[in-house]
Amino acid sequence: MTFEPTLVWAIVLLPLLGFVVNGVVALAAPERKIVPTIVGPAVIAISFAIALVNFFGMLRTGPETAVIVPGYTWIPSGSLQVEASLQLDQLSMLMTLIITGVGFLIHLYSVGYMHADKGYARYFAYINLFVFFMLLLVLGSSFPLMFVGWEGVGLCSYLLIGFWYTGKVNADAGKKAFIVNRIGDFGFIVAMLMIFANTGSLSFQSVFAAAPSAFTYGGAVVTAITLFLFLGATGKSAQIPLYVWLPDAMAGPTPVSALIHAATMVTAGVYMVARTGVLFALAPVSMIVVAGIGALTALFAATIGLAQYDIKKVLAYSTVSQLGYMFVGVGVGAYSAGIFHLMTHAFFKALLFLGSGAVIHAMHEALHHTHRDWDAQDMRNMGGLRRYLPITFVTMWVGTLAIAGVWPFAGFFSKDEIIWQVAARAVGPFRGWFTLYWVMALVAALLTAFYMTRLMIMTFHGKSRLPDEERHHLHEVPWVMYVPLVLLAVLSVLGGWINVPAAIGRMPVLGWVPHAEWLHHWLEPVTAAAERIQAANLPALSETAPFGGGEALWALVSFAIAVATIVIASAVISRVEYRPALESAAPAGFRRVLFRKWYVDEIYDALVVRPVIRASRWLWRWIDQGLIDGVLVNGAARLSRMVGWFGSRLQTGQINTYAFAVVLGVIFLFLFVFPRLF
C-alpha cells in the first residue's frame, strides 16, 4: 500500500490565506475583531486536521521514502533548477503536526490574551504568516525553499517582537533579532552556494543522494558546508555566539514567545541539522562542534537563567539552554533524540510561556486598575499567586516537572535520552569531548531544575508581594486561555511516552509507560542514511557511560538529581525574603554578573556594534566624502577650474595686451616656424 498525500499544499497555503484576510482586515477595518477571531485560529485548525489525515495515512502505510508533492518550477537557471515543491516524510510530518497543533492552541490562547489590543487583526495576520513560513520551512523540498521559510519566520519574528512598535525597546529588540538572524542566514546562503557547486543540485533528495560520493568523509568541503549550515542554525536557534537576540525577543506578546521563540521557530536549526543529517554525518568535526556548542549553550544559558527576575527572561534563557540540549542530541548523531526533545520541549515550553502569559495577564490587569508603575513581569512583584490562578499554577508545575526531567513527565524521557546518547558515544577518537559534553549536560540538567523551581516558588508560593489594592483584582484567566494550558499540560505528560527507551521500558515502575522507542522507529526512514554513514565510520555505541553504569542506572540518577534539586531548591528559596522590585537592592557579586548575563551584550556592543558604526561613519566622512568625492572627483573639477583660472588671467580685456600677444606670436612664427617650413 503506497502512501497518498492529501492536500499538502493546503496545509501550507491556508495560513497564508489567513494572513491575507487578516491583513486586509487590519488595514481596512482594524476594529472588526470578529473576523480575525474566527479566521486566525480556524485556518490553523484546518491545516492541523489535514496534517492529521496525512499523518494517519502515513502511519497506516509506513512509506520508506519521502513523498514529493510537486508545485511549480521556481528558479530555473541553467543547470540550477529549484522546484517549489513540498517534501512529506516522517520528519516533516512530525514537525507539521507540532507546528499546526501547538500553533492552534496558541492561536486560541491569543484570542483571549490579545482581545483588548488595538492591533488584534494585525497580530493574527502576522502569526498566520508565521505559521505559513514555518510550514514552508519544514515542508520545503529544497534548500532554497527551506530558506524562504527560514527568513520568512525571521521576518514574522521581527514583526511580532516589535509588535508594540511605539516602544523603542520593542522595536530595537525586533531589529536586533533580524540582524543577528541575518548573520546566521549568511552562513545558510554560503552553505547553499557550496552545496550547489559540489553536488549540482539544491533539492534535498538529490543532494543527499549525491553527498556520499561527492564528499569525502571528514573532508574540508563538507566540514565547511556543515559549519556554515550550523552558523545558520546558531542564528535561528539562538546558540552561542548568536543567542543574544532571543532573550530580548521577549519584548513581543507572550503567545508569540510561546509559539515562535520557544516551540517552533527557534527549533528550526535543530530541524535543519536533522534534515541535513547526511552531510553532518560526513563531517565528524562539525558534529563535535555542533554538540559542543550545544552543550556549552545549555550550561551557559542555564547559569544566566538562575539570576533573572523577569519571568519571561528566565524562560527565554531556559529555552536557549534546552535548544542547546537538542543540538547536543542532533550533534552526536542521535537525530531522533534531538527531534524528540524538540517535540516535548514544544509542549512544555509553550505551556510554561502561556502560563507565564496568564500570570502577566493577571498581574497586568491588576496593576492596570490602580495605574501603579510596577513591572508586571518581575517575579519579585509576584508571590502567592497560586491562590488566584489555580489552573495556571497546576499546569505550570506540570511544565516545570517536565522540563526538570521528572518521571513520568515528557522531559524526563527526552532529556534523558539525549544525555544517554552522549554518554554512549564516548568511545573512539572523540571520547574526551563526549565525556565533557555529558558532564556539562548533567550539570545543566541540575541547573534547569533549580531555576525552574525558583521561578515557581517566586511566582506562586509564599505571600503575595502585591499591595492589597491590586491583590483583589487578581483572578484566573478566561477559558480560551486556560484550555490550551490544560491541553498542553496533558501533552507535557503524555508526549514523552512515545519514545520510552528500551532500557527504561524494562525497568520496574518506571517502565509502566507504553510504546517503547516509537518515535525512533518512526523517524528511521529519514535518519537511516545518516546513521549508515556513522555506523560505517565510527565505533559502535558503548553500553556503559564513561564512569560506568548503564542507561537505566543513569536514568535513575538523573531522575534523582532532578527531584532532589527541586526539593532542596524549594526549601532554600522559600526561605529567601523577596521584596518588590522597586524596593530591592541591585544584585551584587557573582549574582550581578549572572544578572547582567555575563556582560555578553555589553561585550558585543563594544567589540562589534559600536566599532562597525564608528567605522561606517569614518568611511563615509573620510573615504567617501573626503577621499573619493572630495579629493578625486571634486579635486579633478577643482584642478580644471584652477587651470582655467590661470588661463583666464591672460584675458585682460585690454586690446593692447592682445595686440602684444599677436606680435609675439608673429615674431615666434617668423623666427621658429617659417624658417623650418620654407
Set of cell numbers at residue 50:
489535514
* Cβ atoms 217, 282 nearer than 8 A: yes
At 442, which amino acid appears? L
38 interacts with another protein by CB under 8 A:
no
Judged by CB under 8 A, which of 35, 49, 52, 189 binds another protein? 189
Instruction: Name the nearest CA neighbour of 326 among 301, 360, 305.
Output: 301
Residue 24 is a binding residue for another protein (CB under 8 A):
no
In this structure, the strands spanning 80-88 and 67-77 are: antiparallel
Burial of 45 (0-12, 13-18, 19+ CB in 10 A): middle
Cell numbers linked to 599: 556582560
Question: What is the CB-side half-sphere exposure of residue 584 using CA atoms within 13 A?
Answer: 17
Nearer to another protein, 583 or 624 (CB): 624
Closest CA to 66 of 44, 41, 91: 91
Residue from the set 10, 17, 183, 493 that interacts with another protein by CB under 8 A: 183
Residue 555 contacts residue 503 (beta carbons within 8 Å):
yes
Helix or strand run (H / E) with residue 70: strand 67-77
Closest CA to 249 of 363, 338, 191, 163: 163
Residues 496-535 that bind another protein (CB under 8 A): none
C-alpha cell recorded at residue 614: 564608528
2 belongs to the binding site for another protein (CB under 8 A): no
* CB closer to another protein out of 69 and 145: 145
Spatial contact of 133 and 153, defined as CB atoms under 8 Å apart: yes
Whole-angstrom CA distances from 130 to 21, 103, 259 are 14, 10, 9
Query: Which span sits near another protein by CB under 8 A: 164-172, 305-313, 413-421, 668-676?
Result: 164-172
Binding mask 466-495 for another protein (x = CB under 8 A): ------------------------------
Closest approach of another protein to the CB of residue 148, in Å: 4
Q: Which is nearer to another protein, 151 or 248 (CB)?
A: 151
Start-to-end CA span in the chain (Å): 108
Asked if 631 interacts with another protein (CB under 8 A), we say no
Which of 369, 610, 617, 641 is close enough to bind another protein by CB under 8 A? 617
Q: Which of residues 319-348 bind another protein (CB under 8 A)?
A: none
Interface mask toward another protein for 71-110; x: CB under 8 A: -xxxxxxxxx------------------------------
Residue whose grid cell is 494572513:
19
Single out the residue of 167, 432, 635, 665 in contact with another protein (rule: CB under 8 A): 167
Contact flag: residue 671 with another protein (CB under 8 A): no
* Min separation Cβ 29 and another protein, Å: 12
Nearer to another protein, 147 or 208 (CB): 147
Do residues 124 and 97 touch, judged by C-beta distance below 8 A? no
Q: Which is nearer to another protein, 479 or 660 (CB)?
A: 660
User: In this chain, which of 20, 42, 53, 175 binds another protein, going by CB under 8 A?
Assistant: 175
Residue closer to another protein (CB basis): 540 or 615:
615
Identified binder of another protein from the candidate list 11, 26, 134, 498, rule CB under 8 A: 26
Contact 292, 422 (CB under 8 A): no
Closest CA to 309 of 473, 451, 148: 451
Residue 155 is a binding residue for another protein (CB under 8 A): yes
Q: How many CB atoms lie within 10 A of CB 502?
A: 12
Can residue 652 be called a binding residue for another protein (CB under 8 A)?
Answer: yes
Contact between 655 and another protein (CB under 8 A)? yes
Min CB(189)–another protein separation in Å: 5
Q: How far, in Å, CA of 655 to CA of 456, rounded? A: 101
Grid cell, residue 456, equals: 515557581
With beta carbons less than 8 A apart as the criterion, state whether 107 and 44 touch.
yes
Decide: is 676 part of the binding site for another protein (CB under 8 A). Answer: no
178 binds another protein (CB under 8 A): yes
- Near another protein by CB under 8 A: residue from 101, 144, 329, 484: 144
Length of the chain: 678
Residues engaged in binding another protein (CB under 8 A)? 23, 26-27, 30, 72-80, 144, 147-148, 150-152, 155, 158, 162, 165-168, 171-172, 174-175, 178-179, 182-183, 185-186, 189-190, 192-194, 196-197, 612-613, 615-617, 619-620, 623-624, 628-629, 632-633, 637, 648-649, 651-656, 659-660, 663
